Each structure stands twice: as C-alpha cells, then as structure tokens.
Structure 1
C-alpha cells in the first residue's frame, strides 16, 4: 500500500502519461493511421485511467498529478511551499519515467524528440480555456462533493480531447514529457513554451478570481 504522498504523485503521474502515450501508440497502430479513431481510443483510455488513478490516490496525495492543481490548492492555503515544490518535482520525474516505460513496452527508442507541430494562437486559447475549466471542476467538487472528483475529472478530460483543438493537455509536466515522444501524442519542443505559458496564465487568472471567492 502506497502511503507516501510524494511517491503517490510520482507513480500516479508516471502511470497517467504511460496510459496517454501507450493508448496513443496503440490507437494509431490499430487504426492504421486514422487520427480520428486514434484520438477516440486515446481519450477513452485516458478517462478510464484518470478515474482509477484519482480514486486510488485521492486520499493519499490528493491525486493532483498536475502542478497547476497543486498551485491552486497552495493558493488556498491547503498546500505548503515545501509540498508545492516536492509535488512538482515528483510529478515531473514521474512524467518523464512514464514516457520511458511507454517506449520500452512498445519496443520504441527510449530517447525521442517529437516532430509533431502544435503551434498557433488557436492552440494557446484552447489550452487557456481548457485549464480554466479543469481547475473550476476540481475546485467545485472539492468544495461540494469530493467523492465525485474522480468521475467528473475523468469525464471532462475524455471529453476535452474531442472538443478542443489542443486536445486538452492542461498540464505543464505532461506537456514537457510529451515533447520526448515522437508518437501520436507528442508535441514539438518549441511548441511546448506556448502551451505551458497558456496553462500557467490560466491557472494564475483562476487563482486570482476564485481564491476565497468560490
């Protein structure tokens, strides 16, 4: 039984990115390159994985798996400076490990650099709005019915893959990690900056307007 919150964040983030990457690879291969079918498979697998992982780890670490979620709870005074930093490091290391494992189990080169272009203001706006929505849903159910968080976040992310142009990355550490996989879910390293800035800006806006107001 995992009882260390930092290890929970590490392993949870690793498993999440492993599912995201692995299902992207499998979906693309099984559909013979059909991006629509691959995205559908990717979204369903990610949603299911999120539901399971959040359900398992929510009472251990809060099941953040995302530094922006940790930042939101830090702004509310529920997370200390030390935990904020250690969670971020745990999530980042977990994300990088998850990418490596996904490559290993699909017999791909461990070290890769994505060539998939995801650039432009449409993607940045998409990530800004998506991040706001994610944080709102988590905060709402944290304040009203914590038991619904696993289901609601899972459904939101699975749906977000299909209604946003950016496919709902909404997570800086996963975005960085996905630049190290040249597969269906990858993102070109130069494009990471725009995504992360949009995500972080959205988190700061959310914290400013919703801190102690919601």
Structure 2
C-alpha cells in the first residue's frame, strides 16, 4: 500500500472521528435542555457508531489506528516501523484538529478556541489508564479471536467506556489534543492534557505487555486498529 494513502486515511479517519465527537457533543448539549446524562448519551452513541464505520472502511488501507496510543502499541509489536509510526501520529493530531474546526464551523461556533473545561485528578487519570488499556486489549484480543469483528468490538467498547470511566474515555492522545481546542461539551483544558496523554500511553504499553503473554499461543494476525 502506498504510504501516502495510509497517511491520508489516518488524517481523514481521525478528522471524522473528532468531527463526530465534538459535533455530537455540541448538538447533544443544545438539545438536552440542561440534562447532562442525556447530553452524554447523545455524545456517546454517535462516537461508537462512527468508529465502526471508519474502522470498517479505512482498516484495509491504514489499519485504522486514528490514535497515537494504538500506533504506539503496534510499534511495540513491531508491526509498524518507527518512522512510519511518527508520521501516523503527526497526521492523526493534524486530522483531529481539522475535525474539531470542521465541527465548530458546522455549528456556527468560533473556529479557534481553547477549552476551559476542567478534567483533572487522580481518579480521571487512572480512568484514562483503564480506558486505554481496555481499548488496546480489545483490539489485540479481538484480532486474535476474529479479525473481522474488530470494528464492532472497538465501537462497542468505546460506547461502554464513555459510561464506565470517570473521564468518559478519551483513550486517545490525538483526541485529547484536539478536544483541548474546543470550548464545548467535549472539551478539556490544555493544562489538563499532559496527565491524560501520559496515562494513555502507559495504558497502551500495559495492554501490549498483557496481550503478549495472554495471547502468546494465538494465531498471528495482520496489522489492524
């Protein structure tokens, strides 16, 4: 596969993911009448759904990572080269920002924003570790069990993790960076990013280590995300 097509797929996919996360958050908050639970539900369902769509259609091109922590985990498995993984991460972050700005434009918001929404503290940091561990574990274990089920498994996992984690499961450094530039329902203060991102990478590394042991006798699977 031509490398430029892989990078384009990662840019487009991450862009649509963030447009969905932020756009559905804006729509949900506007329609929920102040009911935060309903707003969160309105944010959750589109996010899980778009992941199924994006992974299904772009997985054969780039592996459908859309997430630096997932790319990092595949690098640990030596299924993606270091240079290519760095380009993946760069285009994921760029695509995420483009998706946020597109969402702002669609809803008549200021394009360039910085979030003021506080998301910090030990409980939320641990939640990001759990969320990202679970995501990477889901990907690797499902690849081992049934490669064709990865898209659905990831979409369903993120749908669940929105609700069982205190942080609402960012589980993605590119998503975290992009959401810092949206002062909307889905935002996170830029000053709160570093701990979220650190715990996401730690969670991904932990999932890699567990899966390397747990799935050691499983069949080899091609790269996917």
Give the TM-score of the pair, scaled to structure 2: 0.91
Q: Which residues of 2 match residues 167-206 of structure 1 at below 5 A? A: 167-206=168-207
Query: For residues 47-81 of structure 1, what are the alpha-carbon distances to aligned partners after superposition, in whole Å with 9 as ceiling and x for unaligned?
Result: 11111111001111010000111111111111111
Name 2:93's counterpart in structure 1: 92
Q: Does 1:41 align with 2:42?
A: yes
**For this pair of structures, how many residues does the alignment match?**
213
Question: Equivalents in 2 of 1:118, 1:71: separation in Å?
Answer: 24
CA contact (8 A) 2:10 2:65 kept: yes
Distance 1:8 1:212 in 2: 31
2: CA distance between counterparts of 1:47 and 1:203? 20
CA shift, 1:157, in A, is 0.3
Distance 1:34 1:185 in 2: 15
- Residue segments in structure 1 that go unaligned for 5+ positions in a row: none
Aligned counterparts, 1:15-94, within 5 A: 15-94=16-95
Which consecutive residues of structure 2, in runs of 5 or more, have no partner in the other structure?
216-225
Shift of 1:144: 2.0
CA contact (8 A) 2:136 2:208 kept: no
TM-score normalized by structure 1?
0.96
Checking the alignment, whether the CA contact within 8 Å between 1:76 and 1:212 is kept in structure 2 is no
